[in-house]
Amino acid sequence: MKALIAVSLLLASLNSFAFDYSAQFGFQGESSIPDSSLPSSVELPARKNIELPTLNVLVFPHTLKSDWLHGKPDDSSQLELSSKENFEISFGEELIQTSNLKLTKNGNKIKAVSNDGRVFNFTTARVKGTSAIKLKRVVSPDKSHSYLGTFTLQFENDGIQAINHVDLETYLRGVVPKESGASWPLESLKAQALAARSYAYYHFLTAPSTRDYHVDDTARFQVYAGVSGADSRTDVAVEQTRGEIMTYQGRVIVAYFHAYSGGRTDSALNIFKQNNVPYCAGNAEIFPRSELSDELSSGSRWIVSWTTKAYTSQELLEEFKSSSRVGGKFTNFNRSSQVDLVEAEMNDLFESVKTLTVAQNATASSADLDFADVRTALGWSNFPGYHFRVTDTDEGFVFKGHGWGHHVGLSQWGAFIMAKNYNKNYLDIVNHYYNDIDVEKLPWSGI
């Protein structure tokens, strides 16, 4: 998210369903869900052993079909590293200094060419420098970012893999401005910093030992753009909350966050089917929807209340049939025959559909879809939230909803309003969105 003025100018001329929401606002919009096998909170290490963590972040390649920050899926057969000053690359007993390194896949090894023409091959190497190092994404060079810390370069999954080793506080400098708006009130940014740190530290403690990294830099976890994504305003928020994390009964929480709830946050049980996340039970916003709508330009008010394009019967069936999640329910449906949509079960607390029935008289077929199935099948970039209603119009089926993201945990635009219009501090904000949590200062806070 950027300044509201900039957002207004940017979106005023855009159709709100012709773009990737995250790309236009410059932020992600929601945290991802940990693997279902992981706990909803994790015990802190012994106090004497809690030190500033070094986070291992997979920064290359990314494989998401569409990623607003990193562009198209990377070509893992080639990568270029560069820096304003020489950096060191070491492998085995070799140590080479260079300011530019071109990497290509060479059989089952990585071929490297330094700026002075030296050529060498390796399977694993370490890189460190005194200044930021830029990783050039050959497929999307304009989506390249620079990073502090050190790197491991390795041949993995039949290609080049780069892992950035960076301390947690420096990592957050590249996360917070991509997960909230750097121009926003400081207290809302501090709430985001606290959520992002807790989320990252949770993954630091729970990442499987069989994986070389704790998180990656995409929406699979939380978006990270290295030092090139840092902003002095969000740097202040990170520093003023340094070492602070949220706990529930002494355990680090998964601090879910999203863009805007639509009026009331939802529970992790309802959205994620997680029945053991008591700190995300859902709470009403302290302000009406109209108050946030008044802060936005007409072109960006879809954050509060959105409407999809009209889907024809054939278009809906194509999406449902091709969905890996629900496609099996539509085997007997005929693409050329009309369907009816019935709001079979409602979630009255959110004025939204809980179960949608898709029926086709021509084939005597029907399928019940959970609201989460519908959003997933139609695509998150086209379907901002989980709370929606559906209407059959002359043009087709139109879905209308409230809010942006998964509705669980911290509401980013809610934090903005709470700080700006209600003078709430970051502790007020996090205690509103997370139930019965504590904020703990760990030793690396320096306090």
Q: Which residues contact 208 (CB under 8 A, 6 or more apart)?
A: none
Q: What is the mean pLDDT of residues 116-131?
A: 96
- Domain locations along the chain: 305-402
| 344 touches 368 (CB < 8 A) | yes
| 375 touches 385 (CB < 8 A) | yes
| 361 touches 412 (CB < 8 A) | no
| 418 touches 35 (CB < 8 A) | no
For the CA atoms of 270, 271, 276, 281, the dihedral, rounded to the nearest 10 degrees, stands at: -70
- pLDDT for 318-349, tens place per residue? 999 999 999 999 999 999 999 999 999 999 99
- pLDDT for 173-194, tens place per residue? 999 999 998 999 999 999 999 9
- pLDDT for 8-51, tens place per residue? 333 333 333 334 555 555 555 667 776 777 889 999 998 778 89
* pLDDT of the residue at 380: 79
* pLDDT of the residue at 447: 67
Query: Does this model's pTM top 0.75?
Result: yes
Strand partners, 105: 110
3-state secondary structure of 38: coil
* pLDDT of the residue at 22: 52
Q: Please give the Cα distance from 436 to 185 (Å, whole number).
A: 25
Nearest to 258 by CA among 419, 76, 28, 428: 28
- pLDDT for 241-298, tens place per residue? 999 999 999 999 999 999 999 999 999 999 999 888 999 999 999 999 999 999 988 8
Q: What is the mean pLDDT of residues 347-370?
A: 96
* pLDDT of the residue at 74: 94
Q: Please give the Cα distance from 260 to 237 (Å, whole number).
A: 20
Q: Which amino acid is at 392?
A: D
At 412, give phi and psi (nearest 5°): -65, -45
Q: Please give the Cα distance from 196 to 205 (Å, whole number).
A: 14
